[in-house]
Amino acid sequence: MGRLIYIVLGWCAVALGLVGVILPVLPTTPFLLVAAFAFGKGSPEARAWLIEHAHFGPAIRNWEENGAISRGAKVLACSMMALVLGASLILGAALWVIALQVVAMGSGAAFILTRPDGMTR
C-alpha cells in the first residue's frame, strides 16, 4: 500500500511539473524533485525514467549531486517572478496582493540565487 501511495504521489508531481512547463507561475523543477523522491520509494523504474529524461533529468541530477540550480534556470525563474510581479502592478492588483507576492517571490528568488550553479551532464 505504501509503495502505491509513493507511485501516485510521483505521477501527480510529474503532472504538476508538466503544467508548470506551460504556466510561468507554477514551478516545474520542485515538482520533479518530489516525483524523483517519491519514485525512489515506490518505483525504481519510474525514477530511472525521470532521471534519464532528456529534458528533466539534468536539473534533477544537478540538484541531487550538487545541491545546485543551473544559471539558466535561475535566470528563467527570477525573470518569470519579475514578469508576474510586473503584470500584477500593471493590472492594478491590491496592495496586499503585491506585498504578498514581493515576500513570497523575494524569498523564492533569494533561495534560488544562493544555490550554487553546479554542472549538468
pLDDT of residue 118: 74
* Model pLDDT, residue 121: 47
**Domain map of the chain by residue range?**
1-66, 68-121
pTM of the model: 0.77
Q: Check residue 72 and give its pLDDT.
A: 87
Low-confidence ranges of the chain (pLDDT < 70): 24, 119-121
Q: Which long-range contacts (CB under 8 A, 24 or more apart) does 1-6 make?
A: 2/41, 2/42, 3/41, 3/42, 3/43, 4/42, 5/42, 6/38, 6/39, 6/41, 6/42, 6/43
Q: Which three cell numbers stand for residue 15?
A: 503532472
pLDDT digits (tens, 9 = 90+) for 56-82: 899 899 998 999 998 988 998 899 889
Q: What is the pLDDT of residue 119?
A: 64
